[in-house]
Amino acid sequence: MKKMWYFYTAMIDKKAIRKGFVFKKYEAPFQSPFDRIFEVFKELITHTSGDFDEAIEWLRELDKEYMLTTDDYSIDDFIEDLKKKGYIREELDPDGNGGMAITAKTERAIRQQALDHIFGKIKRSGKGNHKSKSPGIGDEHTGDYRNYQFGDALDKVSMTESLKNAQINHGIGDFNLSEDDLVVEETLHKSQMSTVLMIDVSHSMILYGEDRITPAKRVAMALAELITTRYPKDTLDILVFGNDAWQIEIKDLPYLKVGPYHTNTVAGLQLAMDLLRRKRNTNKQIFMITDGKPSCLRLPDGQYYKNSNGLDKHIVNKCYAMAQQARRLHIPITTFMIAQDSYLMQFVREFTYANQGKAFYTGLKGLGEMIFEDYETNRKKRIRG
């Protein structure tokens, strides 16, 4: 009887310390009917470039197929909740007809969803700054220590480590703190980044049955949300280029559409460099998302020179000249080339060589992740002009 008791106790102890994985059926976190449908609505409003009526029409079609609503909560109930929560408002179109439009609250929600979708759940931080790899006077702690040198600021002295050195060197009984005991924690220089994001809105961005503009503007919204929330001291300017180039505001991104345009890459680069010249930050960069070849120039007399047949030498050489000019201004250009045509890739390679920048040859998949990784890499560099 005694042996059995010990055996039973041992079995209990083994079970108590047993470790492993427990597999069970996945249960999605609870979402209210509104929250569940709102996730779909934000995707649709991005695809429809902010057209509320079209988004709701698509939502009703999806509801028929996937039963998004219930007997107790319909699409009409969802629209009423959008009004109550301040996501939509009534407004008049130029013809005087009434209709519904999304609000700034919805625009922020779309940007946040884009950020979560592309970059994952990135936590906000109070201050956002970019740090270089070189140690020096700053306030980004590295965890590394060095001996105190004359001229070091006293607030940089690590008192904990210095007192520990004093105890080791002189003992506790006769406590003495000398200059040789003092250590300073290394810090990193912080730098601020000014970025211009160029988005191609030429007609080719929706050709061949592929929607390329929606992923591009989703990346732009995510990058804008990342910078404004995590790195508020940085600047982000967004411009689009077709026959001409013009700047747009972050709030305009959900409504961005392509037009019947050619691709005036030179105009986009000129505007990007003009914007960056006004910035005081040392670190400056240009991100360019494009899928087409440069096919347009604006001449001094205001007329347009266009050629969509192959690569026009006159247009291409102007692009190379702009790339070299940006290089002289210490502005690296990173090109995200969506198209895979070999002759276009060769143009991008030569353009990148002229600027000494970088190029990514990619489809639409993974575009956001690549831009984020490149942004995070560039922010650690300190470009000295």
Best mean pLDDT range from 125-129, 223-227, 272-276: 272-276
pLDDT given at position 119: 66
Average pLDDT over residues 287-307: 93
The answer on pLDDT for 234 being more than 50 is yes
The whole-number pLDDT of residue 104 equals 93
Position 125, amino acid: S
Task: Give the whole-number percent of the chain exceeding pLDDT 70.
Answer: 82
pLDDT of residue 329: 93
- Under 8 Å between Cβ of 268 and 196: no
pLDDT given for residue 227 in this prediction: 86
Residue 85: which pLDDT band, with cuts at 50, 70 and 90? very high
**What mean pLDDT comes out for the span 171-200?**
79
Cα R_g (the chain), whole angstroms: 29
10, burial (CB in 10 Å: exposed 0-12, middle 13-18, buried 19+): exposed
Least confident of 64-73, 162-171, 180-189: 180-189
- Whether residue 165 contacts residue 181, with contact meaning beta carbons closer than 8 Å, is answered with yes
Residue entry with tokens 């906000």: 124
Determine contact, residues 63/75, Cβ cutoff 8 Å: yes
| pLDDT of res. 121 | 39
Strand ranges for 205-274 from DSSP E? 235-241, 245-248
Q: Give me the pLDDT at residue 25, please.
A: 74
Distances from the Cα of 41 to the Cαs of 28, 78, 114, 252, in angstroms? 19, 10, 13, 18
Residue 19: pLDDT over 60: no
Task: Give the pLDDT of residue 297.
Answer: 97
Say which range, 231-235, 238-242, 289-293, 380-384, has the weakest mean pLDDT: 380-384
Residue 364: its pLDDT value, please?
66
The contacts of residue 55 (CB under 8 Å, 6+ apart) are 41, 44, 45, 47, 48
Mean pLDDT of the chain: 82
User: Which pLDDT value is given to residue 280?
Assistant: 84
> Which one has a higher pLDDT value, 96 or 236?
236
Comparing CA positions, the residue from 217, 254, 149 lying closest to residue 371 is 217
